[in-house]
Chain A
Amino acid sequence: EAQVTQNPRYLITVTGKKLTVTCSQNMNHEYMSWYRQDPGLGLRQIYYSMNVEVTDKGDVPEGYKVSRKEKRNFPLILESPSPNQTSLYFCASRRLAGERGNEQFFGPGTRLTVL
């Protein structure tokens, strides 16, 4: 089954404790991205990657890091989480080549609470 998986689905942590949210896709997509979703603010892009070893900042990259060492994986790293990073996080992937507006496939989300 074609899918994007994220782990963990739920995480409660404390300020300053480094954490990683993993994302993996099995569709051989070149493009992967991370979003955060907050009430009233919609989906905002944190980082995206167009291929292995190629990453770029989205609209709200501060406080986050990513890496793309393999095509299928795109982990999101919070080196020193703060309470304002409490949010619902989504990983997504899509093909690059072809027509405009290729469908993005989203993971199930990770609900993060930073105390």
Chain B
Amino acid sequence: TQLLEQSPQFLSIQEGENLTVYCNSSSVFSSLQWYRQEPGEGPVLLVTVVTGGEVKKLKRLTFQFGDARKDSSLHITAAQPGDTGLYLCAGGRGPGGSYIPTFGRGTSLIVHP
């Protein structure tokens, strides 16, 4: 059962464009994480959001956790070729030791120069 649905699955845009990636679920999560994975490497954590309605910014990337803690979005402003990669969201339930994250299938982003 895929608990986290990511959309779109693929995105190909030109440098300078804006984009938004969505991560949706019918389940409530205690926190949600966004990872970025480059070809030939493992995923690397970008951000963790824990509070409903929370917004976090990382340079040109803006992350939002839904009020009900069931969904999240990642918005990239003025995308650059260096943003190319696979973006994964991961949601988990339970505190500390019992926290087991479930990953979405990912959004593959290509930014053309």
Contact = CB atoms under 8 A, between A and B. Distances in A.
B97 A109 contact: no
B28 interface: no
Most buried by A among B42, B43, B45, B90: B42
Interface string B10-33: 000000000000000000001111
Interface of A: 4, 30-31, 35, 40-45, 48, 50, 90, 92, 96-104, 106-109
Contact of A43 (B40, B97, B100, B103): B103
Interface residues of B, number: 28
A109 B40 contact: yes
A100 B50 contact: yes
A101 B30 contact: yes
A35 to B, nearest CB: 8
Contacts of A106: 42-44
26 contacts: A31-B97, A40-B105, A42-B88, A42-B103, A42-B104, A42-B105, A43-B43, A45-B102, A90-B42, A90-B43, A96-B97, A97-B96, A98-B96, A99-B50, A100-B31, A100-B48, A100-B92, A100-B99, A101-B30, A101-B33, A101-B99, A103-B48, A104-B45, A109-B40, A109-B41, A109-B42
B45 A103 contact: yes
Contacts of A107: 42
A98 B96 CA distance: 6
Interface in B80-108: 88, 90, 92, 94-97, 99-106
